[in-house]
Amino acid sequence: MNEINYDGYKAVLKGKILTISKIGERRHYTIKEKNNGIEYEQGSEYFYIRTEKGFYYQFKMEVNDGFIGDKYSDDDEFLDSFACFTFGE
């Protein structure tokens, strides 16, 4: 899966570029590592991009137009923040 829609958010992974859109604004994030596309369960506010480098990205589409992305090891240990943006500000 390379595209999802959730509560006004649209997330598209095209090549190495992750584009997040909401309320007419767009943000672009580069996923440098080889990955398996977007992993998403319908209706969830979270989605994931798993890499082949021993870690994954977890993204959250918040109800107050905030978007958060963090990096975790494959053992679910927090490694770093990757994205943080509030649409409409």
Confidence of residue 1 (pLDDT cuts 50, 70, 90): low
Once rounded to an integer, what is the mean pLDDT over residues 70-76? 97
Q: Which of 57, 72, 73, 74 is nearest to 20 (CA)?
A: 57
Q: Give the number of other CB atoms < 10 A from CB of residue 10.
A: 14
pLDDT in tens, 14-39: 999 999 999 999 999 999 999 989 99
pTM of the model: 0.93
Which CATH number is associated with domain 3-86?
Answer: 3.90.930
